[in-house]
Structure 1
Amino acid sequence: MRGVRAFIITALCLGALPARAQAPTVLDCTGPFAKQANLAAAEKAFGAENVRRGEIYVGEGATETGTLVFADDPKRRIEILWHDTDRQRRPALIRVGDGSEWRVASPGGQTIAIGAPLAEVEKLNGKPFTLSGFSWDYGGYVTDWKKGKLTSPPSGCHFGIRFEPDPKASEKAQNSASGDTEFSSASTAMRAVRPFVSQITLGWAE
């Protein structure tokens, strides 16, 4: 199970809030997600009533216990896994996914949102990158930024993106961009399925 978490971290990585919650407008590896942050920091930023313990899916049918922020609101939901799970401190992975309205700081100094098209991310990186084929548990993760602008992590933390193919793409096109293999973002197979960002992760190494 730790191997599953390591893969996700490496392949990196709004609505009104209560007045007392000083929530960020863009997620990055500072404040409640700094390297030494803990549960109390998340509760202070987002409101204790909006933060709870829960199970987080990590792939291959497995889950790990972590912290959920706005658990029942897809637009604001944030998932956190900790290096110290019992004490809920030192974030290993911070993740937002489908439906999220959060923007996430990128190493290139820009922000990226869920739903961003492949071409936009490639432009921010300044060059093509490599991602895994679709239709398996680790499908769509960026595996190598090829020394582009998105290589250097913000604040020293990990940064990762996962893509999904456009569901309107033909079955033949999706099959051509699927499987346990790597593709260039500039490849004909990838372009044909019009991928978009479906998950963004930040996180810290142990």
Structure 2
Amino acid sequence: MKRFFILVALLVPVVLTAQTKLSQNIVDDFSARVAAHYQLPHDSITGYIAEQLTRSGNAGLDIDSTVFDLKKDPVAFDAALKYLYQYSDCNRQRFIANLRSMGLQTNSVFPIATYTANKYKGEVKALLEDKTDFLATYTGPVTGKKPPATIAEVAAANQAAANAPASTTTGNETATTTETGNTDATTSTAPAADTRNWEVRPLFQVRTPEQLVEMYGANNVTQHDAVNLSGEKEGEAYLIYPDTDNELEVQFDGENGNILTFSHYPSKWKSPYGIKAGDPLDKLIKVNGRPFKLNAFEWTNGGMVSSWNGGALEGKGVIIVLKANNTGDPKQYDQATGDKILRSDMPALKKLDVIIESVAFKAAN
């Protein structure tokens, strides 16, 4: 009997470890299958997971990058399992069936099922209640995405665009002129389609100015001083497509991650969360999911968002400065100026035509 208890004492830690940690090959397998299914149009499982990751804040700066590489983000990985478990009504057999439907290897399914059921066994009631609330506003999966482009792919696309003809014909190339000088048909030309890569995500992976030059060409990248809102120098920064509507500032901040800043509009860049300079205040409130707080204008850090009030942009590394276009009415503008904090749903702000003046996205290395 004593030997039996000794054996049990030795085996219990091993069993518990197996139930509380997944091997790297299983993590890689699940991550790969989620990425593969996320590329399928209208995939219900990964669509559900992605939307829940976004709403919960576990998606990080960019939902697509996160879903395509869950193995690199342990928090998002566990959250993805939790939401798949929730999708399966916290039913272990249904959860196993869904894992199999995604094409996971047989030796991955049961360890994941055990790991997930044990990890979230105390949250079943809350998860089911959250699912009911979630489905009340969920409009269905938005999948069929492409993996984020690599630095090399961006460079190749931009080089190909640079080598393309400046214009193309879009109609008959001949023209017939009558005796009276009227032209029956004229040559019709139009600018060539812009095939440059305007995806922002690869820029968060760039680590050197040389990589920027490789991606966008030496003529489209310049160096300048990075300046904060107080006009103080904060190191060096690099501009892509300087002095154009598509100007984008890239600042390398070491271990703190890259900072991408947009302050020109209209811009062709596909920015995170779809937020761009020039966007109206109402759009920003909608993206955040609730009103937020900002510093009043004409004061220290005027127009800067000071708190997202726990909204979708909380903790996402999004720094925004707003400006008012209609400042001619002192009665309205005075309400929004000075040393104070404003709520974004303040009635006066609607009349002031407040828009995004600049938006910066910061991502950790």
TM-score with structure 1 setting the length: 0.72
Alignment of 1:42-191 (within 5 A): 42-64=212-234, 65-73=236-244, 75-84=245-254, 91-101=257-267, 102-106=269-273, 111-153=274-316, 158-167=317-326, 169-191=328-350
- Aligned-partner Cα distance in 1 for 2:358–2:276: 9
Deviations, residues 114-136 of structure 1 (Å, cap 9, x unaligned): 21111111112111111111113
* Cα shift at 1:192: 3.1
- 1:147-192 Cα distance to aligned partner (Å, 9 max, x none): 1122252xxxx11221101235513322210123211101223233
1:66 is paired with a residue whose SS is: strand
Cα distance, 1:91 vs structure 2: 4.5
Rg (Cα) greater in structure: 2
> What RMSD in Å do the two structures reach over aligned CA positions?
2.8
Q: Deviations over 1:18-75 (max 9, x none)?
A: 4278964242xx32223x63223322322232112112331223233221212222x1
* Amino acid paired to 2:272: A
- How many aligned positions are there? 176
Say if 1:83 and 1:187 are closer, same or farther in 2 by CA, change over 3 A: same
- 2:203 pairs with 1:32: yes
Whichever residue aligns with residue 301 of structure 2, its letter is Y
Q: Which has the higher strand share?
A: 1
Q: Please say which of residues 44-53 and 111-120 is displaced more in the overlay.
A: 44-53
Is the partner of 1:52 in helix, strand or coil?
Answer: strand
- Preserved CA contact (<8 Å) 1:53 1:66: yes
Q: Residues 185 and 202 of structure 1: is their aligned pair in 2 closer, same or farther, counting only changes over 3 Å?
A: same
Residue type of the alignment partner of 2:237: G
Of Structure 1 and Structure 2, the greater helix share is in 2
Q: Structure 1: which 5+ runs fail to align? A: 1-12
Work out the CA distance in 1 between the residues paired with 2:217 and 2:331: 47
Corresponding residue SS for 1:197? strand
The TM-score normalised by the length of structure 2 is: 0.43
Identity %: 23
Residues 175 and 24 (structure 1), Cα distance of their counterparts in 2 relative to 1, 3 Å cut:
farther
Per-residue displacement from partner, 1:70-126 (whole Å, max 9, x unpaired)?
Answer: 2222x1111122225xxxx975421010335134212xxxx1222111111111211
Cα contact 2:291–2:345 (8 A) shared by 1:
yes
Distance 1:60 1:202 in 2: 19
